Amino acid sequence: MARLIEVRATIAGRTKAAAIANGILRAGLATSIDIEQVPHPSISAWQLTLITTVQHAETLEQHIRGSGEVGPIVSRPVAHDVDDYPDWLTNQS
């Protein structure tokens, strides 16, 4: 079983995305946080990509959902070859 989980969530608005990321950082729920703007037809949408431990994954998702209306939250194990870089580091999925 993977020890790390990648969690992705789309948030409406830069300020809200930054506040959620700040809360996650202060709570120590993720080992890595990336925020990037993503195309959306009607809103300013931002995607949070977070790396967390298996133990924190559920709490992290609850923290994101508890911040109000957000888009889908997708979680998946960080899979990697022991002789290669993790797939999330090389943008290969």
The CATH number of the domain holding residue 15 is 3.30.70.120
Assess if residue 84 is contained within a domain: no
The pLDDT of residue 9? 95
Assess if residue 91 is contained within a domain: no
Cβ atoms 22, 16 nearer than 8 A: no
- Domain range for 39 is 4-77
In Å, what is the CA distance from 67 to each residue of 19, 63, 78, 85?
9, 7, 25, 33
Task: List average pLDDT for each run of 10 residues in the chain, which is 93 residues long.
Answer: 85 93 95 92 90 94 89 86 58 58
Assess if residue 63 is contained within a domain: yes
Q: How many domains does the chain have?
A: 1
